[in-house]
């Protein structure tokens, strides 16, 4: 896909990017190359490829789910500006 200078200027305007006029041809060439590469990747048949969350077959080491700190809720709520029934009260910010 070949992008012309007008398209690059429209993309820059929509993206709120300021591009110097002398750099527009470079951006046009680079973005065209990127879109051509994406087109090549879309053309690859991936029907037989199994979806995966991570390319490596390793698992994350997890720590034991144990409480390691003492409950300090009362201490923290004592210094909070406003609390009610164990909940922190904050000003309404969304109508």
pLDDT by residue, tens only, the chain of 95 residues: 789 999 999 999 999 999 999 999 999 999 999 999 999 999 999 999 888 888 888 888 898 999 999 999 999 999 999 999 999 999 989 87
34-60 burial code (b ≥16 CB/10 A, e <16): eeeeeeeeeeeeeeeeeeeeeeeeeee
> Which residues are paired to 59 by β-bridges?
none
The dihedral of CA 56, 57, 61, 64: what is its sign?
positive
Maximum C-alpha span of the chain: 64
* CB neighbours of residue 8 within 10 Å: 22
Q: To which residue do tokens 């003492």 refer? A: 70
* CB neighbours of residue 3 within 10 Å: 19
């Amino acid at each position: 896909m070949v992008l012309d200078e007008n398209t690059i200027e429209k993309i820059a305007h929509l993206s709120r990017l300021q591009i110097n006029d002398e750099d527009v041809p470079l951006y046009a060439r680079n973005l065209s190359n990127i879109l051509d590469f994406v087109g090549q990747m879309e053309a690859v048949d991936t029907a037989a490829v199994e979806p995966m969350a991570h390319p490596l077959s390793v698992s994350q080491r997890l720590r034991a789910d144990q409480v390691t700190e003492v409950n300090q809720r009362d201490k923290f709520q004592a210094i909070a500006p406003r609390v009610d029934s164990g909940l922190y009260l904050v000003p309404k910010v969304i109508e």
